[in-house]
Structure 1
Amino acid sequence: MGIIAWILIGLLAGLIAKALMPGKDPGGIIITTLIGIAGGLLGGWLGKVLFGVDSIDGFFDLSTWIAAVVGSVILLALYRLATGGRHAHRHT
């Protein structure tokens, strides 16, 4: 798959992960996309290591999307753990 396909999968997988795990997160759409792209890679790697399947076959394969969303949910949870206590609150 090309870089445009990875960005599109990342954006959508990141949005799906945020829909499955609602809440306020710092970073906006850029962080959501990066978490989605990294989540797709993580999900594909975990699928290969744990189950011996090539889960990043192509853009329209269900396994690609499942791997991307599962990986994105994992990374979003880790991101929230890492940034949870650092929300900036300004008092005026």
Structure 2
Amino acid sequence: MDPVGLIVWLIIGGIIGWLASLVMKTDAQQGILLNVVVGIIGSFLGGWLIAPLIGGSGIMGYVSAFIGAIILLAIVNLFRRGRVR
């Protein structure tokens, strides 16, 4: 992957992480940095694991990344707070 593609993926993953934190209502609790990092990792995992199951090209790839970010934020919130919220 070229460096520009990597930077674009990081930016999109950060935005998806921020949106997922708004959905999970963790945007003020965990801080923006943790939300973006978890969103990037969740987006990567969602794109890698969920995208092939739902035909992850184009917009479905972003949907799978968003689902992955929400799932990972829920897991992180479960371990940090003891509940999913």
The answer on whether the counterparts of 1:10 and 1:36 sit within 8 Å (CA) in structure 2 is yes
Structure index of larger Rg: 1
TM-score between both structures, scaled by the size of structure 2: 0.75
The one of 69, 75, 81 aligned to 1:84? 81
Higher helix share: 2
Unaligned stretches of 5+ residues in structure 1? 86-92
Q: Give the Å deviation of 1:41.
A: 1.4
Give the partner amino acid of 1:18.
S
TM-score (normalizing by structure 1): 0.70
Specify the alignment match of 1:70 in structure 2: 67
Q: Percent identity?
A: 35
Deviation at 1:36, TM superposition (A): 1.2
Assess, with a 3 A threshold, how the Cα gap between structure 1 residues 82 and 6 changes in structure 2: closer, same or farther.
same
Q: Which residue is 1:25 aligned to? A: 29
1:25–1:80 CA contact under 8 A, matched in 2: no
Return the offset for 1:52: 6.6
- What residue ranges of structure 2 are gaps of 5+ in the alignment? none
RMSD: 1.9
